Structure 1
Amino acid sequence: MLPPIFSGKWPLNPTTKLVSAFSFLVFLVLDFLDTVLCFVYRGIDEFLEGQVSMCYCRNREQTQENATVEGELSETLFGRKNVFRETGFLGFSRKWKNSSEESVNFQMGGSRWSDCGCESCLSWMSNGGDHNLHVRIRQPSQQETIDEKSCEKTVVENVIFLHGFLSSSSLWTESVFQNLSKPVNRSYRLFAVDLLGFGMSPKPRDCFYTLKDHLEMIEKSVISPFQLDSFHLVAHSMGCNIAIALAAKHSKSIKSITLVAPPVFPSEFGAKRVLEELAKRKIWPPLLFGSAVMSWYEHIGRTVCFLVCRFHKAWEKLLKLLLRKKNLHFMIMDLARHTHHSAWHSMHNVLCGGNKSMERYLRVLSDAKVKICVVHGDHDRTAPVECSDNIKRMALNAEINIIRGANHRTVIFGREKEFTRNLELVWASLASHS
């Protein structure tokens, strides 16, 4: 039997019904606005770029005629309900020609007119063609690599860190990297990755940001160049889905995987149901409403990113002035360090569409007897704590650690030292198997 949060059988009282009715009206207006914006962006894209860029306002059959990645794209890209689109409003029943559909393979295309063109956001395009992910590395010091008692070299172990949605490698450099202790008889080389489309990593316009795309870039940027034949994985939120897939692919090399607030839903959920759980179409609370707007409305989301991400330098200067601070918190900075294209596709293809593969991947890890540790806050409203119970059902060897009073963010922040010590205990517990 599914937990109540997954069953959708909560009783409705009069106040809830009133809020639901108001929500319906609000989202009806958003349906109309997104439909109109589709035509607006078609016109602007064609005028400024000479072609109409692909969107997902049409049905799956029309959009995937020329696609070479069928099976990797999430059904939620095409299956988002819109009253006006489904009734053929403004000609949506017609088949639109789209010149950009000619190229659907992974290409390192440049930025779009609606993306930020600052030096930081375009740095990946000017590094001599080496379009690897941006990786922050913490190498063990010479003192850490020598055991003080025996004066012999310690064992150096590798750890790859993957951040979540609308975040970057700063999540780990500002927490774990600064609190790592000096373990006995071993040291750690840490790799904090900016995932494809986020932070300072490449943000190609001709990419679907599928699980396969993210995995290939991590392999190309970290595993292959540093010749990692064994490593630990630590991931937060959306990064957990990528980490599970990466670990399953490299099950012979992975030593342990730590999943923090993993958004892994029951295997019987389709992609659409996952989207409904992650981004419920409700106007309250505000965070959930914002998540729904950015997840369900492609063109409204692009408008928000145009106003926030494209002009993030101006917003940063304004916030610094208002808050009277020289530096903003890295989490505020990370919110705008992506493009709508990269965030939109990662949200749908990794979080929603990728969920269907999680059970298969977790069974591979369970069969390979990989140590799986899950850390979850019991006040997490972004990825409900029931997700960890679901992982336990898929991988019986998974160890679940519930942090009381913690949410999606405070499961790490506010307890950075404790969190890092627990990671070290996980890694140390496998020392005898090295």
Structure 2
Amino acid sequence: MPCSRSLRIMVPAVFSGKWLGKSAGKLMSVVSFVVFLILDFIDTLLCIMFGILDDYFEGQASPCYCGKRIRRELIHDGEGEMSETLYTRKNVFREMGFPGFATKRKDSINRSGGGVVVNRWSDCGCESCVSWMNNGDEKLHVIVREPSKAIIEDCRAKAGENVIFLHGFLSSSSFWTETVFPNLSETIYHNYRLFAVDLLGFGRSPKPRDCSYTLNNHVEMIEKSVISPFQLDSFHLVAHSMGCIIALALAAKYSNSVKSIILVAPPYFGSSKDGGSLIVLNKVAGRRLWPPFLFGSSVMSWYEHLGRCVCYLFCRNHRTWEKMLKLVTWKRDLHFMIRDLSRHTHHSAWHTMHNVICGAAKVVEGCLTVLVEAGVKMCVVHGDRDQVVPVECSDNIKMKAPEAELNIIKNAGHGNVIHGREKEFAASLEHTWAGVSC
């Protein structure tokens, strides 16, 4: 009897636990539906608002990707480099025909007398953000660590060692110069030229409005700013996160020149055909409320005008926010990662997110195939607690490139796979370069 009584007590408890779990799941789904429905409505209203403001400040509404007509035009025009995520993101109210200011995307943008594209009224106009326009410099901002003059001449004569460093999304060359560069040995400084690049649209690099920030745009700017002017016949590549995609495309184009490529937390979700870009978008920025970081990513990636509003409040006013943070923290200077978060425009971040991170799903597999056939040395590093880019992405690269070295760092996330272990990471770079150079 006691056993049967306890069994009767356990069975309702189990069913009760399952019922509560299902109820919580359904409640979260309902709340999520309501929240994103509200965001759909707000983004549609912001489309109208920005259309009016753009027309007032600039004489015409800035083009956006709202409306079915824009989708048909992009598909009809064969925008092969444009990610489908730009024009297939659904919005309940626009699907219902809610009026907006969606205009055809065209490069009819006001220019200054020097022919340099003027930034939007909603973008920051401080010296740091627009210095490239004032100088008429259409090359990337690159920090170069050169050996001594005598060694430089010797390196050029002997096709010496060069390394190009590419940062991730919402970052800059400081990601490398503030962490890895100080921990490299004197041998490296004496024999290597190091190039830390601010990618197109980020940091101190140009942020043109008449650019779609496709994968080819990024690769071509690196060619124009680093490879051609410095006459690089051979080089190593080191990249983090989104920079890995650009590094793979660059390496595939220069497969006979690349000596090694080190990828840290590469966002590669496997081979995909039609719809691959949407799969990537749902994995890196799915429409979910939890965790908060993913919710923030989804808002900035799914809602063009909400994202522009956030950039207007924070990026345009980054100097004010930085001053406030300095007062609150009693620090003379902020951490470079905090500064880098706002050193972009909405246009550059929005298009890079979709056309590189999502859109590259169609081309990464081909790049890997080229590199495998060329026998390029490839190393992949990933943290086992990365919540931004899952470890499965590095496993996917290992499947496509079986000879690649895969190093999973325990208890490391997306950023501290390098931060906090700079010396170990720098030593691993030197070991890889030495092995290839021998």
- TM-score scaled by length of structure 2: 0.89
Residues 142 and 196 in structure 2, CA contact (< 8 A), matched pair in contact too: yes
Matched residue, 1:280: 286
Alignment pair present for 1:381 and 2:391: no
Q: CA deviation at 1:326?
A: 0.5
Matched residue, 1:292: 298
Alignment pair present for 1:421 and 2:427: yes
Deviations 1:142-167 (A, max 9, x none): 698899xxxxx998310000000000
1:256 to 252, 257, 260: 260
Matched residue, 2:216: 212
The 5-angstrom pairing of residues 284-433 of structure 1 reads: 284-432=290-438
Q: Cα 1:322–1:91, aligned 2, differ >3 Å: closer, same or farther?
A: closer
Residues 108 and 205 in structure 1, CA contact (< 8 A), matched pair in contact too: no
Distance 1:250 1:58 in 2: 39
Report the secondary structure of 2:160's partner residue: strand
Residues 53 and 98 in structure 1, CA contact (< 8 A), matched pair in contact too: no
2:35 to 10, 26, 35: 26
Q: Cα 1:65–1:278, aligned 2, differ >3 Å: closer, same or farther?
A: closer
Q: Amino acid of the residue matched to residue 240 of structure 2?
A: H
What's the % identity of the aligned pairs?
Answer: 62
Distance 1:286 1:312 in 2: 22
Matched residue, 1:164: 168
Report the secondary structure of 1:27's partner residue: helix
Report the secondary structure of 1:256's partner residue: strand
Residues 52 and 98 in structure 1, CA contact (< 8 A), matched pair in contact too: no
Distance 1:403 1:99 in 2: 44
Report the secondary structure of 1:319's partner residue: helix
Distance 1:427 1:15 in 2: 52
Structure 1, unaligned stretches of length 5 or more?
1-11, 148-152
Deviations 1:172-212 (A, max 9, x none): 00111100113389721100000000000000011000001
Q: CA deviation at 1:58?
A: 2.0
Which is greater in Rg? 2
Report the secondary structure of 2:229's partner residue: coil
Matched residue, 2:74: 64
The 5-angstrom pairing of residues 74-223 of structure 1 reads: 74-90=83-99, 97-98=103-104, 100=106, 108-127=116-135, 129-141=136-148, 156-183=160-187, 187-223=191-227
Report the secondary structure of 1:373's partner residue: strand
Task: Tell me how large the CA RMSD over aligned residues is.
Answer: 2.3
Q: Amino acid of the residue matched to residue 134 of structure 2?
A: S
Structure 2, unaligned stretches of length 5 or more?
1-20, 110-114
Q: Cα 1:401–1:130, aligned 2, differ >3 Å: closer, same or farther?
A: same
Distance 2:177 2:41 in 1: 43
How many residues are matched? Answer: 408
Report the secondary structure of 1:389's partner residue: helix
Deviations 1:306-364 (A, max 9, x none): 00000000000011001111000000000000000000000000000112100000000
Q: Cα 1:260–1:342, aligned 2, differ >3 Å: closer, same or farther?
A: same
Distance 2:392 2:88 in 1: 25
Deviates more, 1:178-187 or 1:117-126: 178-187
Q: CA deviation at 1:126?
A: 1.6
Q: Cα 1:114–1:386, aligned 2, differ >3 Å: closer, same or farther?
A: same
Deviations 1:386-405 (A, max 9, x none): 00010111222211100000
Q: CA deviation at 1:426?
A: 0.5
Q: Cα 1:155–1:248, aligned 2, differ >3 Å: closer, same or farther?
A: closer
Q: Cα 1:304–1:185, aligned 2, differ >3 Å: closer, same or farther?
A: closer
Residues 154 and 186 in structure 1, CA contact (< 8 A), matched pair in contact too: no
Report the secondary structure of 2:232's partner residue: coil
Report the secondary structure of 1:200's partner residue: coil
Distance 1:141 1:164 in 2: 30
Q: CA deviation at 1:52?
A: 1.5
Q: CA deviation at 1:86?
A: 1.0
Matched residue, 1:5: none
Q: CA deviation at 1:100?
A: 4.0
Q: Amino acid of the residue matched to residue 158 of structure 1?
A: N
Deviates more, 1:390-399 or 1:226-235: 390-399
Deviations 1:236-258 (A, max 9, x none): 00000000000000000000000
Residues 52 and 99 in structure 1, CA contact (< 8 A), matched pair in contact too: no
Report the secondary structure of 1:89's partner residue: coil
Matched residue, 1:47: 56
Report the secondary structure of 2:126's partner residue: coil
- TM-score scaled by length of structure 1: 0.89
Deviations 1:33-89 (A, max 9, x none): 00110011111111110111110112354442795x710000000011111111112
Residues 230 and 254 in structure 1, CA contact (< 8 A), matched pair in contact too: yes
